[in-house]
Structures are given as structure tokens and as C-alpha cells.
Structure 1
């Protein structure tokens, strides 16, 4: 989760796509809005569901156009055959 947050901060779209599960991965990612600033990430909980599945609840803060934004999500991850965790999807809170 932290590496994907860092990729959003640094606009590393190739990394984001590479760590997205193929069954849910978009074809492309739009560039971030001009002026978007990421302010921080708080991981609230991490739950291992089984050897191949986990959830991460987090809050990410950002600022755009002088307004603060808060993204609260529970993300689902799946471990692939190579042992890498891939983002499946997320449910906003």
C-alpha cells in the first residue's frame, strides 16, 4: 500500500499499472490534476485473509485548488504466483 501511495505522489503510472491485478487493471491512467499535492498516508489496519488475500484500510490526504481532500478506502490485494501483492479494488468509506 505504501509503495502505491508513493507512486501516486511521484506520478509513477507504470508502477501503479504493474501492481494492479490484471483482472481489474485499467488500460491507462490519467495524469494527476495540475496542482494536486499529496499530504500523507495513514494505514489504519492490515488484515491477512488467507495466504493469497489481504485487505488494507487507509486514509490518504491531498490538497487541490486550496481545498483539502480525504480518501478513506479499504483496498483488496491478491498475491500472485511470483509472491507479489497486486491491488484488486477498493471500497470507499
Structure 2
């Protein structure tokens, strides 16, 4: 099983696997988080030149985790939010 190399790539792969464009995945992220992240910022996250903020990492993990688990043949648990919270960075005060 070949998977993308890091969280942001995995999120993008998960959200574009049905033929959707990357722009749609970015639009969904911005809508969900109430943000206005740009293509250039997404590129920085993808290349590792800038880490994604904690809310973005949590969102990406919530989209990527079911994709990775199902690709591995693991049943996706119903309580996915708890897993995402446990694996995500802490909120900044």
C-alpha cells in the first residue's frame, strides 16, 4: 500500500481521490475553519517550508485518517473525533 508522505499530502489525496480539484479541498478547509488560506500558504504546508497551524492540522487529520485506515483495511471507528483530538497538536492560548 503506497500512501502520501505526510499529513497535508494525505489530506489532499483523500479529498481529491474522486476527481475533485485541489482548489475544492482548500475551499472546504477555509469554509470549515472560517479562514482564507491561499494557494501559496497551501504550497508552504505541502513543501514543509511552513508548518500548518493546529486547526489546519486537525482538519487535515480528520479528513486523512479515515482514508489511511480504509486503505489499510482497518474499519474506521465511529468515534473519529476523539481519535483526531488525541492525535492533534494543542490549541494555542
Bigger proportion of residues as strand: 1
* TM more than 0.5: no
Scaled by the length of structure 1, the TM-score of the pair is 0.28
Which protein has greater RCO, CA pairs closer than 8 Å, 6+ apart?
A: 2
Bigger proportion of residues as helix: 2
When Rg is computed on C-alpha atoms for both structures, the one with the higher figure is 1
